[in-house]
């Protein structure tokens, strides 16, 4: 299939992220067109017609999320770009922040116009240094050029943007926890109802969208929602930025049309497994998606419908490749340590469950495992499935049960023999 | 009024209720830790989940809005299995302290463990430890191992007392409830309500620590005399059948603790800390011996002397106690008619540093029955002005009168419950009973009348003011 | 933190008027950038400047992994130990750092020069293993690059 690009459409240079370069390739043209010729509801209609789904992990249709907000209800509304990008394996929003920050800003302005948002936010994880500096510089350029502030491009539309930095918390990538963080509090997710589009930031209607999802809006407005819906697949239109890492020859960020063949992506586009080794497994969309084996990916394409047939999902687009010879028990230990560290502690199943999972895997790795531990790991995962305030509990459960489903025998071996069948290897073993 | 179905039964719910509220209001029990009718919804304990018919999973009920036609099950197999799993998780790291924990007997975790779990832990890993005996304030001790982080205490300090003293620091299973480093919980006059709110034995009252097992105690309803709000309280004391033989008999007739008695008309489910400390008021050394000019006499003799003083007086003044009950005040009025110049006295003034009043419960008037006293005896005693110089008899009922203000030559009859030096200076001193020794009513500043009941028996040498007044004026026999 | 107030006032202008509480994290970041950590006096100052309860500031400081109430070494090295970095040798990198500096993760060298800690995913998986030094990403680390880095900062 054709490999259309919508986002990574220009060569990256030392200045390609700057305003002048962005304008030279047509940047802010969509905003000018919208403010000159379109009403807010027309912009929203194009987004709806595009059929675009969220690219942060939840795949919720953007048009449907926006539709809950009534732009003319007289209340303040807020728009927030989720640039927290904490899902391990994921670094594709970073690409946009570093190399195409104005693409995000123009798209946010279009979204703010459609939703009648006066104050917009970008919540960017605190650890990002270069992406933050590039974004902050782009914001200043945009203000100087009159794209933010009062009477934008001579219209009645006014909008201010604040870049809000996180401070080291994975759970603040969850939309409601993100808003709590912007409010100056702990990153505690909130129960729904009410949805954030009804009561979000400071209890006002708020739209939270992923950076990549938002960044498509400029193209959608410039070329029309219908044109967007023809790229990729009918039920899942557009492209995805995939960040691939781990035991892969050519790690990095790639833009693929949704529906691109999975095996081709790994073996051709990205150069295959590091050192020419066999593929043991691939986590397709961030560690919270279920791992797939080499034989699983053969018939699959890179879209949610296909991955769901194999019990997994595209998630955040953070693909991690694992070569043969890697110890899956030690790998799970890395993941469970992460979830334990990041649990906010608010609700019972996750707070108690993450620590419990971590303690069990630590014990197994230390040679003190017990046969019933495997069932216990499954049980704790099940107790976190659909029972928690946010999806983090479920995510840890998917990671755990996914790895156990595919590699149970390695865990049984480790428990019985009190050592790894793969010498505890995580780093790509040198080709023998 | 939307109609919903709980376990197949039709229920008329209110439009803005949650399923949990609708269930509880209609006799269906759904367990809950973090939910409380007076606090915002936290939805973190997860125990209140119910099953919506047609779905295969359970969802929390405290945040599930009532919707016309919604059908839920509160006791299905799915719900039972779910509850058991939540209890397993809650007790995963919970210390088995029941044998030494004050909360035993009134602990929701204990109750729910027996009802919904009842099985041993399935974990083979050691329990996570945390701080025990953390002094959250001068009055409250916190055991972080027992804490289930329901956040009721934190929400109380933000939504009700508004001291913002408490929060949760760190995260995950290292989370800890803590007081702000400026010790602001010490300054929160409602702090001890969090001890009641805590569904487990994490927050405990330091004055009550290890005093008694709750099942050896019984609560008697009473009214706090600390201010004109007159909060409904429960005074806890040992059940007679559980008296301690080994100790001083007085240990069996003391106030073990005071907790709120929920009263929607007056105080809701809260009281202030002064109400918790009623023992500091009621258990001051008591006057038990009638006296004349400091010489001990028996009660009947004292009453007789007082009667003669009353009969002989020309310009008598009575300082009426604002701690007298409605019944005592009525009896005084009926007995003396218009004989005495009656002035209502504020027995207690605010102490230095005492909270004056606020938007919640505390009133500046630190007396329980000023309203009833003023309704019966219009004039108030102004202690900045002297009593009339020609006063020849002053009847002082209750505390708070400065004897320096006595007009020269006036005789005195003093009715008081507590030991004080002035008792020995009065011409006649008669010890009287206190609130915990009789039944009666107070009228609060809004006119709400509340009843208190006796906890203890009074001594024979102590009189009841209500019956005393008739005796004092008996020879007069002339009503007003 | 008083000398930072003019900066905070500029920052305040971009936020809606009722968003005083939202200034807390940006102010804390700036204070930490300036002082190296957040001091008790800074907390008192922010209570007054922002009008937020003291407990909120204490909660926030203890919740977020990047904020600290104690100083660190002059050079703060934070090594990622999450999945992709581990798959590409993060454990070896951390061991190397530990041996070169003579401290375990979580500790500071006796001369106060270096603090070593491990952190979770920094979203730099494509250039793993990654180490953050005083807030700057150092990507595709090798033991040789570690040595050069330590030399440069010694």
pLDDT of residue B476: 52
Instruction: Report which of B348, B201, B206, B224 is spatially closest to residue B279, judged by C-alpha positions.
Output: B224
Together in a domain, A66 and A197: yes
Together in a domain, C79 and C148: yes
Per-residue pLDDT, averaged over B432-448, amounts to: 98
Facing residue for C62 by CB, picked from B166, B170, B184: B170
Per-residue pLDDT, averaged over B247-256, amounts to: 85
Tens of pLDDT, residues A284-299: 999 999 999 999 999 9
Helix (H, G, I), strand (E, B) or coil at B111: helix
Residue corresponding to tokens 């709400």? B448
Give me the domain span that covers residue A109: 19-229
Query: Sign of torsion, CA A258 A264 A268 A274?
Result: positive
Tokens for A280, please give them: 């043991």
A343 alpha carbon, distance to own chain's centre: 18
Cα separation, A131 vs B288, whole angstroms? 82
pLDDT higher than threshold 90 for residue B250: no
- Structural contact between residues B386 and B402, judged by C-beta atoms closer than 8 angstroms: no
Per-residue pLDDT, averaged over B185-205, amounts to: 98
Tokens for B454, please give them: 């006796």
Residue corresponding to tokens 């016309």? B68
> Residue B166 and residue C55: Cβ atoms within 8 Å?
yes
- Structural contact between residues B176 and B144, judged by C-beta atoms closer than 8 angstroms: yes
Facing residue for A245 by CB, picked from C28, C59, C84: C84
> Residue A353 and residue B89: Cβ atoms within 8 Å?
yes
- Structural contact between residues A82 and A125, judged by C-beta atoms closer than 8 angstroms: no
Q: Which residue of A has its CA nearest to C56?
A: A185
> Residue A162 and residue C15: Cβ atoms within 8 Å?
yes
Residue partners of B227: CB distance under 8 A and separation at least 6: B274, B357, B361, B362, B363, B364, B365, B366, B367, B368
**Which C residues in the span 54-83 are in contact with A, Cβ-Cβ below 8 Å?**
56, 59-60, 63-67, 81-83
CA distance B197 to chain A (A): 18
Mutation target for C interface from A56, A184, A287: give the one with most C CBs within 10 A: A184
Structure confidence at residue B479 as a pLDDT band (50, 70, 90) = very low
Per-residue pLDDT, averaged over B462-471, amounts to: 94
Residue C90 included in any domain: yes
What average pLDDT does the structure give for chain B?
95
pLDDT of residue A2: 67
Q: In this structure, what CATH number is given to the domain that contains residue A390?
A: 1.20.1440.230
> Residue A126 and residue C64: Cβ atoms within 8 Å?
yes
Contacts of B181 in chain C (CB under 8 A): 40, 54, 58
How many C-beta atoms surround the C-beta of residue A271 within 10 A? 14
C12 contact A CB<8A:
no
- Give me the interface pTM, i.e. the ipTM: 0.97
B135 contact C CB<8A:
no
Residue C125 included in any domain: yes
A178 contact C CB<8A:
no
C111 contact B CB<8A:
no
Q: Could you tell me which chains touch chain A, where touching means 3 or more CB pairs under 8 A?
A: B, C
Together in a domain, C59 and C95: no
> Residue A376 and residue B47: Cβ atoms within 8 Å?
no
Together in a domain, A225 and A258: no
A360 contact B CB<8A:
yes
Instruction: Report which of B144, B204, B367 is spatially closest to residue B274, judged by C-alpha positions.
Output: B367
Residue partners of B357: CB distance under 8 A and separation at least 6: B227, B363, B364
Together in a domain, A108 and A216: yes
Together in a domain, A355 and A336: yes
Together in a domain, C34 and C87: no
Give the DSSP letter string of C1-19: -GGGHHHHHHHHTTS-TT-
B177 contact C CB<8A:
no
Together in a domain, C139 and C82: yes
β-pairing, B176-179 vs B166-169, is antiparallel
Residue A244 included in any domain: yes
Give me the domain span that covers residue C84: 75-153
- Structural contact between residues C15 and A120, judged by C-beta atoms closer than 8 angstroms: no
Structure confidence at residue B243 as a pLDDT band (50, 70, 90) = confident
> Residue C55 and residue B171: Cβ atoms within 8 Å?
no
CA distance C38 to chain B (A): 15
Q: Which residue of B has its CA nearest to A349?
A: B89
Together in a domain, A307 and A169: no
Per-residue pLDDT, averaged over A114-119, amounts to: 95
Together in a domain, A128 and A47: yes
**Which A residues in the span 331-350 are in contact with C, Cβ-Cβ below 8 Å?**
331, 334-335, 337-338, 341-342, 344
Residue A313 included in any domain: yes
Instruction: Report which of A177, A197, A179 is spatially closest to residue A189, judged by C-alpha positions.
Output: A177
- Structural contact between residues B290 and B297, judged by C-beta atoms closer than 8 angstroms: yes
Mutation target for B interface from C41, C47, C55, C57: give the one with most B CBs within 10 A: C55
C110 contact B CB<8A:
no
Residue C121 included in any domain: yes
pLDDT of residue A430: 61
Residue C129 included in any domain: yes
- Structural contact between residues B427 and B286, judged by C-beta atoms closer than 8 angstroms: no
> Residue B167 and residue C63: Cβ atoms within 8 Å?
no
Q: Total structural domains in chain A?
A: 3
What are the start-end ranges of the E strands in B67-154? 71-73, 134-135, 140-142
Together in a domain, A220 and A246: no
Q: Which residue of B has its CA nearest to A375?
A: B122
* Residue A151, phi-psi category: left (phi > 0), alpha (psi -120 to 50), beta (remainder): left
Mutation target for C interface from A127, A251, A287, A423: give the one with most C CBs within 10 A: A127
Contacts of B20 in chain A (CB under 8 A): none
**Which B residues in the span 356-385 are in contact with A, Cβ-Cβ below 8 Å?**
none
Tokens for A325, please give them: 């010879």
How many contacts, defined by CB atoms under 8 Å, are there between B and C?
Answer: 31
Tokens for B162, please give them: 């508004």
pLDDT of residue B477: 43
Together in a domain, A294 and A345: no
Together in a domain, C35 and C82: no
Integer CA distances (angstroms), C75 to A247, A415, B49, B350, C111, in order: 31, 41, 50, 58, 11
Residue partners of B176: CB distance under 8 A and separation at least 6: B130, B131, B144, B147, B168, B169, B170
By percentage, how much of chain A surpasses pLDDT 90? 96
Mutation target for A interface from B51, B82, B125, B199: give the one with most A CBs within 10 A: B125
> Residue B184 and residue C54: Cβ atoms within 8 Å?
yes
β-pairing, A252-257 vs A239-246, is antiparallel
Domain B291-472 coded CATH 3.40.50.970: no
Give the DSSP letter string of B359-392: SSS--S---S-HHHHHHHS--B--TTSPPPTT--
> Residue A185 and residue C23: Cβ atoms within 8 Å?
no
Per-residue pLDDT, averaged over A144-154, amounts to: 97
Tokens for B330, please give them: 């009525």
Together in a domain, C148 and C81: yes
Together in a domain, C88 and C144: yes
B119 contact A CB<8A:
no
Terminal-residue alpha carbon distance, chain B? 57
pLDDT higher than threshold 50 for residue A268: yes
Structure confidence at residue A1 as a pLDDT band (50, 70, 90) = low
Together in a domain, A304 and A363: no
How many C-beta atoms surround the C-beta of residue A126 within 10 A? 22
Per-residue pLDDT, averaged over A271-280, amounts to: 96
Q: Total structural domains in chain C?
A: 2
B41 contact A CB<8A:
yes
Whether the link from the prior residue into A194 is cis, omega within 30° of 0, is yes
Mutation target for A interface from C7, C17, C126: give the one with most A CBs within 10 A: C126
Instruction: Report which of A387, A369, A297, A301 is spatially closest to residue A332, judged by C-alpha positions.
Output: A369
Tokens for B407, please give them: 């007009």
Per-residue pLDDT, averaged over A130-140, amounts to: 97
Cα separation, B252 vs B243, whole angstroms? 6
Cα separation, A263 vs B242, whole angstroms? 78
Together in a domain, A355 and A309: no
Q: Which residue of B has its CA nearest to A348?
A: B45
For residue B6, the cross-strand partners are B9, B72
Cα separation, A339 vs A171, whole angstroms? 10
Together in a domain, A243 and A370: no
What average pLDDT does the structure give for chain A?
96
CA distance C48 to chain B (A): 14
Q: Which residue of C has its CA nearest to A187?
A: C63
Together in a domain, C59 and C101: no
pLDDT of residue B338: 87
Domain boundary among A323, A353, A376: A323
pLDDT of residue B475: 63
- What residue ranges do the domains of chain B occupy? 3-90, 291-472
Tens of pLDDT, residues A15-74: 999 999 999 999 999 999 999 999 999 999 999 999 999 998 889 999 999 999 998 889
Facing residue for A346 by CB, picked from B44, B92, B125: B44
CA distance C13 to chain A (A): 10
- Structural contact between residues B278 and B233, judged by C-beta atoms closer than 8 angstroms: yes
Mutation target for B interface from A352, A376, A390, A394: give the one with most B CBs within 10 A: A352
Q: In this structure, what CATH number is given to the domain that contains residue C90?
A: 3.40.30.10
Domain B3-90 coded CATH 3.10.20.740: yes
B92 contact A CB<8A:
yes
Q: Split chain C (154 residues) into runs of 10 and give each run's mean pLDDT.
A: 95 91 97 97 97 98 97 97 97 97 97 97 97 96 96 92
Q: Which residue of B has its CA nearest to A392?
A: B172
Q: What is the 3-state secondary structure (H, E, C) of C103-130?
A: CCCCCECCCCCEEEEEECCCCCHHHCCC
pLDDT higher than threshold 80 for residue B22: yes
Tens of pLDDT, residues A150-190: 999 999 999 999 999 999 999 999 999 999 999 999 999 99
Together in a domain, C88 and C50: no
Residue A209 included in any domain: yes
Give the DSSP letter string of A327-382: -HHHHHHHHHHHHHHH----SHHHHHHHHHHHHHHHHHHTT---THHHHHHHHHHH
Q: Which residue of C has its CA nearest to A338?
A: C120
pLDDT higher than threshold 50 for residue B478: no
Q: In this structure, what CATH number is given to the domain that contains residue A175?
A: 3.40.50.11540
Together in a domain, A128 and A163: yes
Eight-class DSSP state of A268:
I
Contacts of A427 in chain C (CB under 8 A): 86-89, 91-92
């Amino acid at each position: 299939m054709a490999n259309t690009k919508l986002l990574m459409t220009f060569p990256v240079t030392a200045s390609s992220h700057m305003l002048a370069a962005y304008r030279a390739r047509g940047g802010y043209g969509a905003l000018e067109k919208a403010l000159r010729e379109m009403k807010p509801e027309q912009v929203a209609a194009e987004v709806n017609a595009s059929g675009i789904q969220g690219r942060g992990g939840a795949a919720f249709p953007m048009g449907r999320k926006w539709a809950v907000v009534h732009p003319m209800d007289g209340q303040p509304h807020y728009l927030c770009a989720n640039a927290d990008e904490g899902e391990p394996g994921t670094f594709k929003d970073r690409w946009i922040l570093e190399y195409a920050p104005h693409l995000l800003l123009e798209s946010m302005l279009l979204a703010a116009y459609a939703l009648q948002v006066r104050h917009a936010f970008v919540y960017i994880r605190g650890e990002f240094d270069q992406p933050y500096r590039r974004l902050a510089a782009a914001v200043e350029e945009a203000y100087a050029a009159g794209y933010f502030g009062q009477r934008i491009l001579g219209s009645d539309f006014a909008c201010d943007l604040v870049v809000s930095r996180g401070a080291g918390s994975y759970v603040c990538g969850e939309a409601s926890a993100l808003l709590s963080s912007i409010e100056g509090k702990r990153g505690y997710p909130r129960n729904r109802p009410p949805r954030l589009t009804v009561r979000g930031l400071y209890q006002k209607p708020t739209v939270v969208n992923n950076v990549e999802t938002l960044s498509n809006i400029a193209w959608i407005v410039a070329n029309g929602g219908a044109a967007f819906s023809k790229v990729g697949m009918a039920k899942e239109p557009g492209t995805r930025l995939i960040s691939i890492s781990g035991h892969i020859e050519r790690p990095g960020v790639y833009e693929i049309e949704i529906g691109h063949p999975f095996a081709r992506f790994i073996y051709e586009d990205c150069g295959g497994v590091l050192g020419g080794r066999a593929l043991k497994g691939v986590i397709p969309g961030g560690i919270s998606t279920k791992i797939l084996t080499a034989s699983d990916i053969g018939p699959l394409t890179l879209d949610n419908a296909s991955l769901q047939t194999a019990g997994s999902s595209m998630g955040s687009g953070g693909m991690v490749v694992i070569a043969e010879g890697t110890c899956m028990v030690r790998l799970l230990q890395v993941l469970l340590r992460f979830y334990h560290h990041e649990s906010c502690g608010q609700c019972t199943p996750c707070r108690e469950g993450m620590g419990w999972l971590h303690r069990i895997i630590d014990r197994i790795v230390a040679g003190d495992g017990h046969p019933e531990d495997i069932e216990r790991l499954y049980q704790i995962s099940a107790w976190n499935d659909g029972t928690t305030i946010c999806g983090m509990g479920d995510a840890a459960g998917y990671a755990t049960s996914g790895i156990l489903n595919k590699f149970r025998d390695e865990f049984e071996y480790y428990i019985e023999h009190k050592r790894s069948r793969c010498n505890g290897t995580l780093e790509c073993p040198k080709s023998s | 009024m939307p109609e919903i179905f709980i376990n197949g039964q039709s229920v008329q719910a209110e439009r803005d209720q949650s399923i949990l509220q609708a269930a509880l209001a209609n006799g269906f029990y759904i367990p809950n830790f973090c939910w409380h009718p007076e606090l915002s919804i936290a939805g973190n304990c997860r125990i209140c989940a119910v099953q919506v018919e047609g779905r295969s999973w359970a969802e929390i009920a405290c945040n599930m809005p009532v919707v016309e036609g919604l059908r839920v099950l509160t006791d299905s197999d799915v719900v039972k299995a779910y509850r058991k799993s939540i209890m397993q998780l809650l007790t995963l790291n919970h210390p088995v302290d029941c044998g030494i924990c004050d909360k035993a007997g009134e602990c929701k975790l204990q109750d729910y463990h027996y009802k919904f779990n009842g099985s041993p832990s399935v974990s083979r890993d050691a329990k996570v430890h945390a701080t025990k005996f953390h002094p959250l304030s001068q009055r409250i001790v916190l055991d972080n191992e027992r804490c289930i982080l329901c956040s009721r205490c934190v929400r109380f300090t933000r939504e009700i007392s508004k001291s913002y003293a408490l929060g949760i620091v760190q995260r995950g299973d290292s989370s800890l409830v803590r007081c702000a480093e400026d010790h602001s919980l010490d300054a929160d006059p409602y702090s001890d309500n969090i001890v009641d709110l805590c569904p487990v034995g994490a927050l405990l009252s330091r004055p009550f620590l290890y005093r008694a097992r709750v099942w050896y105690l019984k609560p008697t309803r009473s009214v706090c005399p600390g201010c004109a709000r007159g909060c409904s309280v429960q005074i806890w004391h040992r059940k007679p059948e559980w008296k301690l033989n080994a100790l001083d008999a007085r240990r069996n007739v003391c106030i073990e603790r005071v907790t709120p008695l929920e009263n929607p008309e007056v105080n809701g489910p809260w009281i202030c800390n002064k109400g918790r400390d009623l023992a500091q008021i009621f258990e001051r050394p008591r006057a038990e011996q009638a006296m004349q000019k400091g010489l001990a006499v028996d009660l009947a003799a004292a009453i007789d002397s007082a009667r003669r003083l009353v009969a002989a007086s020309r310009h008598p003044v009575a300082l009426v106690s604002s701690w007298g009950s409605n019944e005592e005040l009525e009896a005084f009025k009926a007995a003396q008619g218009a004989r005495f110049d009656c002035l209502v006295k504020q027995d207690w003034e605010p102490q230095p540093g005492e909270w004056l009043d606020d938007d919640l419960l505390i009133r500046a008037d630190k007396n329980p029955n000023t309203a009833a006293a003023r309704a019966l005896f219009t004039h108030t005693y102004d202690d900045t002005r002297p009593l009339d110089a020609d006063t020849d008899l002053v009847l002082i009922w209750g505390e708070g009168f400065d004897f320096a203000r006595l007009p020269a030559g006036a005789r005195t009859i003093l009715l008081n419950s507590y030991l004080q030096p002035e008792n020995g200076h009065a011409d006649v001193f008669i010890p009287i009973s206190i609130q915990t020794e009789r039944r009666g009513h107070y009228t609060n500043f809004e006119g709400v009348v509340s009843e208190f009941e006796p906890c203890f028996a009074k001594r024979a040498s102590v009189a009841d003011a209500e019956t005393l007044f008739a005796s004092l004026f008996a020879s007069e026999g002339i009503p007003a | 933190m008083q000398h930072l107030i003019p900066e905070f006032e500029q920052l305040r202008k971009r936020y809606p008027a009722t968003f005083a509480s939202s200034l807390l994290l940006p102010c804390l970041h700036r204070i930490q950038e300036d002082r190296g950590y957040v001091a008790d006096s800074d907390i008192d100052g922010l209570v007054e400047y922002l009008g937020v309860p003291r407990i909120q500031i204490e909660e926030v400081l203890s919740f977020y992994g990047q904020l600290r109430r104690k100083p660190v070494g002059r050079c703060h090295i934070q090594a990622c130990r999450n999945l992709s970095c581990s798959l590409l040798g993060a454990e070896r990198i951390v061991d190397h750092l530990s041996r070169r500096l003579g401290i375990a993760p979580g500790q500071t060298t006796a001369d106060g020069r270096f603090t070593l800690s491990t952190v979770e995913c920094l979203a730099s998986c494509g250039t793993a293993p990654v180490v953050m030094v005083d807030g700057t990403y150092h990507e595709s680390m090798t033991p040789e690059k570690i040595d050069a880095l330590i030399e440069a900062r010694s």
